[in-house]
Chain A
Amino acid sequence: MHLGLVHYLTVSAVLFGLGLLTVMTRRNTVGILLGVELLLNAAALNFIAFEHFVAGGAAGQVFTIFIITLAASEVAIALAIVLQVYRGHRSILADRLTDLKN
């Protein structure tokens, strides 16, 4: 059996599916953030796999560096927001944060 692009794409696709499922179904806001991390990692893995097998050059790895940068700043901001929400509501369950509904 030969290890090819399709194997890495499969891993990445399944990981993306798991991340999407996490984002869609979780009630805990931190749980949703974990799902976003899974999504970003799946996308980064795809970039690296395509660079290794198809494109060559350095573009794939550069994009992955930027994905990691964005993910780090995203998680810092998002967790700061989560902390503020927890202070205001005593809860971080996404379906209880309905202040804007009324």
Chain B
Amino acid sequence: MAVDLTLVSFFALAALTLVSGAVVAFSRNIIHATVALLGCFLGIAGLYVQLSADFLAAVQVLVYVGGTLTLILFAVMLTARIEDVRTSNTSTGLPVGVALVAALLLVLGKVATTTAWPETPRAPMPSTAKLGHALLGDYLLPFELGSILLLAAMIGAVVLARRAVKRNWEKA
């Protein structure tokens, strides 16, 4: 019997994603949780490739793994004291949370399995050109708003994170 490689890679990527996600949700060490987020992002990037979104997979790796994760690691290092790092990420109210999430998953599973989705799987293809035309055509305004948002976020982060220190020449 021939093994379907798509199936095997799907289950491998899904396992990587979900196990890393579970570590993020349950690890008591904030550093472990942050590094586990790396596996989760990489697994999702792999799933994007399977779903013929190759450009997004590259963006996922570049932005999340290269940018967001580094930023979060910096924040962890700047805020967690090293001596109590083993219990730096404790949880509270876990039973209630698990019950609520189980109820939510029941509803989601019911919706996903009973709805008759009109499934027509498409052949894998490069998506970059299609995406570029969409971003500079139908979605031009949201695209420009996104760049303004990024600029505002950058300035806001700088203003928020700096120390309010007066230089000598400012004191007067």
With a CB–CB cut-off of 8 A, which chain B residues contact A53? 117, 119-121
B59 pairs with A34, CB closer than 8 A: no
With a CB–CB cut-off of 8 A, which chain B residues contact A38? 21, 24-25, 37, 40
Interface 1/0 per residue, A49-81 and B, CB below 8 Å: 101111011110110111011111111110111
With a CB–CB cut-off of 8 A, which chain B residues contact A16? 104, 108
Interface 1/0 per residue, B138-158 and A, CB below 8 Å: 010010001001101110111
With a CB–CB cut-off of 8 A, which chain B residues contact A9? 108, 112
A34 pairs with B56, CB closer than 8 A: no
A64 pairs with B79, CB closer than 8 A: no
A79 pairs with B112, CB closer than 8 A: no
A92 pairs with B109, CB closer than 8 A: no
Query: Closest chain A residue to B160 by CB distance?
Result: A80
Given contacts A3-B10, A49-B51, contact A65 B72 (CB under 8 A): no
With a CB–CB cut-off of 8 A, which chain B residues contact A84? 160-161
Query: Closest chain B residue to A86 by CB distance?
Result: B79
B97 pairs with A19, CB closer than 8 A: no
A interface: dominant SS: helix
Identify A10's interface contact among B98, B109, B152, B154, CB under 8 A. B109
Report the Cα distance A17→B152, complex, angstroms: 31
B7 pairs with A3, CB closer than 8 A: yes
Interface size class of A (residues with CB under 8 A): 35 or more
B156 pairs with A68, CB closer than 8 A: no
Report the Cα distance A16→B135, complex, angstroms: 27
Interface 1/0 per residue, B48-59 and A, CB below 8 Å: 100111011001
Query: Closest chain A residue to B102 by CB distance?
Result: A17
A19 pairs with B160, CB closer than 8 A: no
* A100 within 8 A of partner (CB): no
Interface positions of A from 9 to 55, Cβ below 8 Å from B? 9-11, 13-22, 24-28, 30-31, 33-35, 37-38, 41, 44-45, 48-49, 51-54
A-side residues, CB < 8 A to B, are: 1, 3-11, 13-22, 24-28, 30-31, 33-35, 37-38, 41, 44-45, 48-49, 51-54, 56-59, 61-62, 64-66, 68-77, 79-84, 86-87, 92, 95
What are 12 A-B interface contacts by the 8 Å CB criterion? A5-B119, A11-B14, A13-B109, A15-B18, A16-B104, A21-B97, A34-B34, A48-B47, A48-B53, A59-B134, A65-B135, A69-B149
Complex A-B, nearest 8 residue pairs according to Cβ-Cβ distance, in ascending order: A73-B153, A80-B160, A58-B134, A80-B161, A25-B91, A52-B51, A18-B21, A9-B112
